Amino acid sequence: MVDAGEINLPDVMAEVTPTLARYEAAPVSNDLTVLDVLLWHSRLSLRYGNGEHLCGIAAIRAFRTACNLTGPARKSRNTVITTFGINFTTANIKFVRKAGRCGRQSQPWVHLSQGWHIVAAHVSIIPV
């Protein structure tokens, strides 16, 4: 159980914030290595997007390898990072891509022995 005093601990926020920024830069440059390193390597990993419902690290890797994920730069409009204790974080980002297109991204992150990893992701683009 996490006590209210363990939410957004400064030292955990200091670890998670640059890790999330590193992940956010990777799709713009199609850096598959960074995308892979920061994803939990498990059959339980998930990625849900506008056109895909991927279950497991193998399916996510295959999707990323098959398509060029490099997209236009996007501008984050709202990023909310909330840490719970020292091992669990949520990251939610609202971003704008093209005129009239808004994106939303939600990710739970878990601190494992190898560092912080995304265990699930949901990305969607909607008309504004």
* Predicted confidence band of residue 26 (pLDDT cuts 50, 70, 90): confident
Q: Which residues of 61-85 are buried (b: 16+ CB within 10 A; e: fewer)?
A: beebeeeebeeeebeeeeeebebbe
**82: which 2 tokens?**
């909330």
Residue 100 has pLDDT above 70, yes or no: no
Q: Is the pLDDT of residue 66 over 80?
A: yes
Question: Assign residue 117 a region: left if phi > 0, alpha if psi is -120 to 50, beta otherwise?
Answer: beta
Which residues on adjacent β-strands are paired with residue 121? 47
Residue 77 — pLDDT band, cuts 50, 70, 90?
confident
Q: Please indicate whether residue 27 or residue 78 has the higher confidence score (pLDDT).
A: 78
- Is the pLDDT reported for residue 105 higher than 80? yes
* Separation CA 43–CA 105 (nearest Å): 21
**pLDDT tens-place string over residues 3-17:** 999 999 999 999 999
